[in-house]
Amino acid sequence: MSNFFTSGDNSENKNLFLKKDEKPKDNSLDGQYNELKNNYEQIFIEAAESIRKELDTIKPENPCDGCTHKDCKIEKKDIFAPYPPTGCKLREWQMQSITYLSGDYRNKLKAAYKSIMDKKSGCECNKCGDCCKLAVSEYSYTQLKQRAMKGDKFSEDFVSIFVPYETEEEAKQVNPEYFELLNRLVEDNKIYYYHCPKVDSDNLCTIYEDRPSICRDFPHNPLKLLPSACSFNEWKNEVSHQAMLLKAKTDIIEFYKQKLG
Ligand code: SF4
Ligand code: SF4
Ligand code: SF4
């Protein structure tokens, strides 16, 4: 589910996170999408290398000295080698690696993600209203209501304010750039377009003090596409590399758990 919300003023915070002489990033939706797509492969390699180095720090020294498996033929003694289940210090290392990645290391990633989200407070909403006027979801309105009834808090908040557009054409008129990009990205997958009737003609929220948490917490994820006019693009531009690295590391941990578990 992807959506855009909230309110405030950001006029003084323009380019808050840009370093000296750094060119402003391309905040167009195509620019954001291309940046994520082009960088992810390299970032994935960076993440994998970083995890490999972490695990090397807990690898035992001279593990095969004194081993009783005299017929062991394992030459490449890396983390994914098929070590025997007992009597092998490197198999113990594999198991310790899973424990480490699922525990202390994951906690480090969580702390890093929290620090990314905390930096959001350096940006303020510029009241463009785009997030209130066009929200998208892979779920239909009926499906969202069903999810809400089953206790999904996000869906509950979502259906408490958003209503579906009557036609896709109406949604397209609101933000043609975003509409076109989504249609290119999702290809055959159906998506549904919504808007909030609580936004007024000055782009202000008429229930600002009572708006739900999905509005207060927007943007919820630094890797989601934001409307081009959204002032939180400055935050997103600053943290997107680190956020992609965290995402890649999280995916790699799952891979390790499956391979070594
Ligand atoms: S069984 Fe494990 S510890 Fe023993 S020689 Fe093979 S890799 Fe080394
Ligand atoms: S309640 Fe509606 S108008 Fe208010 S911030 Fe949320 S989406 Fe925007
Ligand atoms: S899109 Fe961003 S800047 Fe615009 S109203 Fe929503 S949160 Fe504020």
User: Contact at 8 Å (CB) between 84 and 91?
Assistant: yes
Closest ligand 2 atom to the C-alpha of 204?
Answer: 3
Q: Whose CA is nearest to atom 3 of ligand 3?
A: 230
Query: φ and ψ at 2, to 5 degrees?
Result: -135, 140
| Helix segments in the chain, DSSP class H | 29-56, 89-100, 106-118, 130-133, 141-149, 153-161, 168-174, 176-186, 213-216, 233-260
Q: Say yes or no: CB of residue 59 within 6 Å of ligand 1.
A: no
Q: Say yes or no: CB of residue 4 within 6 Å of ligand 3.
A: yes
Q: Say yes or no: CB of residue 217 within 6 Å of ligand 2.
A: no
Q: Whose CA is nearest to atom 6 of ligand 1?
A: 72
Q: Say yes or no: CB of residue 196 within 6 Å of ligand 3.
A: no
Q: The pTM is what?
A: 0.78
pLDDT per residue as tens, the chain (261 positions): 332 222 222 322 222 222 334 444 666 767 767 777 778 888 999 999 999 999 999 999 999 999 999 899 999 999 999 999 999 999 999 999 999 999 999 999 999 999 999 999 999 999 999 999 999 999 999 999 999 999 999 999 999 999 999 999 999 999 898 888 877 777 667 899 999 999 999 999 999 999 999 999 999 889 888 888 999 999 999 998 899 999 999 999 999 999 998
Domain ranges of the chain: 27-260
